[in-house]
Structure 1
Amino acid sequence: MVWIYGGGFTIGFSDMYLGHHLAIHGRVIVVTLNYRLSVWGFLSTGDEHAPGNYGLWDQHLGIKWVHDNIAAFGGDPNRVTLFGESAGSASVFYQTLYPGNKGLFQRALGQSGSVGNFWGLNEKNKENAKKMGNLANCEADGSKSLVNCLRQVPVEKLSDFVCNSTYGLVTFPSSFLPTFDGDFVKTDPKRVFDKDSDMSSEVADFFSSLDVMTGVNSGEGSGGISPFVTGNPDAENFTANKTYFEETLVPVTIGKVFGETVPKVAVDAVISEYTNWENPGDENNIREEFISMFGDVSFTKDLYVTLNAHSKLSTNQHTYMYLFEIVPEFSGFLQPPTWFKKLVHGGDLPFVFGFVNSDQLEDEFHAKPAKWETQLSADVMTIWSNFAKTGNPNLPSDLGLDWIPYTRKHQHYLQISRDMTSANVKQRWNTRRANFLENILPRIVKAAQCNEQKYSENLNQETCDKDKNCSP
């Protein structure tokens, strides 16, 4: 099992995660690897001088090393599973879409992330590269000279630029991310699973040949209350009234997906969908709906896009979806606000690794879990290692869950929770809002933009379509 860590493609290191509890419990070999991050891993000028995606290439070389050498450690090079969380999960799926990995791994397990997530793709390559160049006094007249100059800048200075918020490169999404380069990332990640996608048969064949398991936590939207999104540094006292929600939170969040200028009718549609109409003015309801919206925009939509694509393309019926839904009792990890009772983004990590981590993290994972949390961690490690061994999370160690594979028609998933039984296999979690964000909202945005363009053209020409009211 090859672990790719998360951290927004900006922070992280392999020693954050100690795999010995998972290895011993699941009787698997756990490998963690490093890859270049931030400006070193993903700066791109959009051409041959700095094409970007160096971090993804690093991961690929690590995967290749495992395939070539794992037998010497008692491993099976024909049973390799990639797994990762957040940006690590997105990385896992980037690797599933690179045909150069064919034969290097057979399974992919993604925890809270896919290739389509707005936070995992850089569409401002040249802009951010030039901004870095300006900060470093690299007054270059082209990509080649810019890159050559930046390569001479001391690492400490570059690190200061990307870590100190005063320079304008500490953003959400991150300034340096994977990019559509036509080489490693061969298809636009935002469209790779669309019906009219230009995904090559080579990419489709490799992706469909893999076993896939992926899911999210119930409280993924907790990231929405971070200062990077709301500008509010005090999560414990975060509140949202109706005006703040409608005029700030919704436009900002939706703007991250569709661009900074989102048509008002699209914003209104989102407000309507994410309003608790039983008591629309209640600030607790508003806060909860905002967190749900942020989680759906950031994770749920693309979770279903990935699952639907794989279950459609795959012939082996090894597509599995989970929802990690608990109210944790342990403390000492990520420290969500006291009013937040769902499992936050990243809250699954202690369960996957058996509540142990590196001393370098100041004992963050060394929480004191309740007895049921310890048992749930054992079950999670069993499920994860089952999938790595067979591509089926039910086998060989049967927990009696009878987890049914995901199909677009039936949409089965496992609700990972306390005291799991076969009743935890459910159907169609949050599918209305996933469909709204994936299929309905883009049509509203497109229709509104088309109408605005037609109105602008008619106004410039002082004409109006027949039987149409073109007045302001």
Structure 2
Amino acid sequence: RTVLFVCFLCLYVCLFLKTFSLFELGVVQTEGGKVEGKSISLGSGRSMDIFLGVPFADAPGTFEKPRPHRGWDGILQAKDYKPRCLQLTVLMNDYIGSTDCLYLNIWVPHGSSVSAGLPVMVWIYGGAFLVGGSMGANFLDNYLYSGQEIADRGNVIVVTVGYRVGTLGFLSSGGSDLPGNYGLWDQQAAIAWVHRNIRSFGGDPGNITVFGESAGGASVSFQTLTPHNKGIIRRAISQSGVALCPWGINRNPRKFAEEVAQKVNCPTDNRMAACLKMADPGALTLAGPLDVSASPDNPIVFNLVLSPVIDGDFLPDDPSHLFHNAAEIDYIAGVNDMDGHIFTALDVPSINSDLVDTPIDDVRRLLGAYTKEKGAVGLNNAYSTYTSNWGSNPSQETIKKTIVGVGTDYIFLVPTQAALYLHADHATTGRTYSYLFSEPNRLGGPLLPYPSWMGADHADDLQYVFGKPFSTPLGYWDNHRRVSGAMISYWTNFAKTGDPNNGGSSVPVNWPKFTRSAPQFIEINSDMNNNYHFLLRELLLTAHFLIFRPCPLNPRDDCEGNSHTNNQVTFKVT
């Protein structure tokens, strides 16, 4: 009996330890060498491996494409974030970061066994192609782009990547001597590294979703359009940014390159590129600040000049002509309902104050800047459309909200619509989905810095996608957790199956596909219910899509339906 008791006791202890032990990957072999992260307990028998600062490329040369990493001996301790890429500080009078910055971070969840074959979500951060980092903003070691909540709640692997920004990432001479797009090449190198190595971390290299916001959302769009990612990306999510945005492509890069050259004492003739490549990286970074002297006549969006270019390589043609490359990619794209607020508040500061009137003429001035190429007729048509429901004496709230609406439409909404139509038109197996995020900004109210009528500002969606209402619960309410839970469910279901409704996580309402004949979308907020789970897009765009339309929607036609071969995407006033 004693022997039998001991056997039962040993069996019980083994089962107990198996139930409550942490599963972990331990040391992982990558193409560059061995890496070791850290393992944490998530409770309820779940655990997670976290690898921070894994190199996916060597330290890049100035204005050179990323190079494969040379590898390392021994075991690389991947337990801390690496510095972000060299970039300007908030005041733009100094720089931070490092030129050795091509690293990525990986979150791998485990349940009752070590994970294998998990879907992979690769995050590309935003920041106007000027600033940002793979870890995001940090408050008391709470990093915005921590992938822990997404990975745990959605049972997916999350990867966040670093890439060059500002002058070092996007300066271009417009020629082959300084072609630009170095930041996009960094992103592509990271995605390719994930495709080659993620199986060792328990991921499925055949199921990679890239997602990003703002410049990151546009980057996602570019990554689906370039021929260099054929067969690597299976799904993609663009939040508040697509390749067709008016700030997405710099069509006159030489002008700014010459301005930078003069600031670092380089010639502006055929010796310029060689000189710039030898210049101090810090000086080059300081030479590319953003001009923030905005006004309704000179909107801030026109000053975002450090952006991708049509280089004949990464982007062999205008983005509107490259959607055939995304034909097999499932795609989600959407905007926040007041995405333009952060920009129009710089153009027209009075919109944020209840105590300062916003002149009606500011609406006309802003529209005039956006429709400059269309002349007086275009401006008058646009103005009459946006003011058609004003009446004879519009309130200040109406005027201020109209300005935000104009900015949102021009900078984000209409280009996103065009990208959705083009993706749906060219899709073979790829599915298309559209959304509008409208959870009100948490800083809106009579005693707060934003007006009480504020909707979702630019970047407001980030805290919900990355699960901050769960990781920092004291800073949020239950309605915020509903929004966050819904977004994580939609996003990770989509990463698993290509359908945001199906993938193991419950969602509040069904999300219909977007097609040209049925351009449907969902509105994401804390009050989602089955009474309005989709609307026809035309209802939203009565005063939107008819004003600013990226042309051509039919890739080889101009806005008047005439065939053309140039690389211009203009905006039409109907």
Match of 2:378 in 1: 266
More strand by share: 2
Q: 1:137 to 1:329 in 2, by over 3 A?
A: closer
SS in 1 for 2:279: coil
- Taking the TM superposition and a 5 Å limit, the aligned residue runs for 1:16-165 are 16=136, 17-142=145-270, 145-163=271-289, 165=291
- Taking the TM superposition and a 5 Å limit, the aligned residue runs for 1:71-470 are 71-142=199-270, 145-163=271-289, 165=291, 172-189=302-319, 192=320, 197=321, 199=322, 204=324, 206-227=325-346, 229-230=347-348, 232=349, 235-236=352-353, 239-246=357-364, 248-255=365-372, 258=373, 262-275=374-387, 276-316=389-429, 318-329=431-442, 337-355=450-468, 368-396=475-503, 397-399=505-507, 401-429=509-537, 430-438=540-548
Task: Spell out, residue by residue over 1:37-62, the C-alpha distance to the aligned partner (whole angstroms, 9 max, x if none).
Answer: 11111111111110111111111000
How far does residue 404 in structure 1 lie from its aligned partner after superposition?
1.2
| Structure 2: 5+ residue stretches without partners | 1-120, 137-144, 295-299, 553-557, 561-574
- Total equivalences in the alignment: 416
Larger Rg: 2
Task: Spell out, residue by residue over 1:78-118, the C-alpha distance to the aligned partner (whole angstroms, 9 max, x if none).
Answer: 11000000110100010111122112110011101111100
Distance in 2 between residues matched to 1:344 and 1:166, nearest whole Å: 19
SS in 2 for 1:209: coil
Q: Is the 8 A contact 2:125 2:215 kept in 1?
A: yes
Quote the sequence identity (%): 33
Distance in 1 between residues matched to 2:435 and 2:301, nearest whole Å: 30
The alignment's TM-score, normalised by the length of structure 2, stands at: 0.67
Ranked by relative contact order (alpha carbons within 8 Å, sequence separation 6 or more), the top structure is: 1
How far does residue 435 in structure 1 lie from its aligned partner after superposition?
3.1
Q: 1:283 to 1:400 in 2, by over 3 A?
A: closer
More helix by share: 1
Distance in 1 between residues matched to 2:340 and 2:198, nearest whole Å: 38
Q: Is the 8 A contact 1:405 1:412 kept in 2?
A: yes
Q: 1:423 to 1:356 in 2, by over 3 A?
A: closer
Task: Spell out, residue by residue over 1:359-405, the C-alpha distance to the aligned partner (whole angstroms, 9 max, x if none).
Answer: xxxxxx88711111112211211111000000000012232522211
How far does residue 421 in structure 1 lie from its aligned partner after superposition?
2.8
Distance in 1 between residues matched to 2:432 and 2:455, nearest whole Å: 26
| Structure 1: 5+ residue stretches without partners | 359-364, 448-472
SS in 2 for 1:25: helix
How far does residue 6 in structure 1 lie from its aligned partner after superposition?
0.6
Q: 1:353 to 1:155 in 2, by over 3 A?
A: same
Query: Cα RMSD between the aligned structures?
Result: 2.9
Read off the aligned partner of 1:137 and give its amino acid letter: N
Question: Structure 1 segments of 4 or more deviating over 3 A?
Answer: 163-168, 170-173, 232-239, 328-331, 438-442
Read off the aligned partner of 1:244 and give its amino acid letter: D
Q: 1:357 to 1:15 in 2, by over 3 A?
A: farther
Q: 1:118 to 1:138 in 2, by over 3 A?
A: same
Q: 1:446 to 1:293 in 2, by over 3 A?
A: same
Distance in 1 between residues matched to 2:337 and 2:376, nearest whole Å: 29
Task: Spell out, residue by residue over 1:186-209, the C-alpha distance to the aligned partner (whole angstroms, 9 max, x if none).
Answer: 2213xx1xxxx5x4xxx61x3110
SS in 2 for 1:23: helix
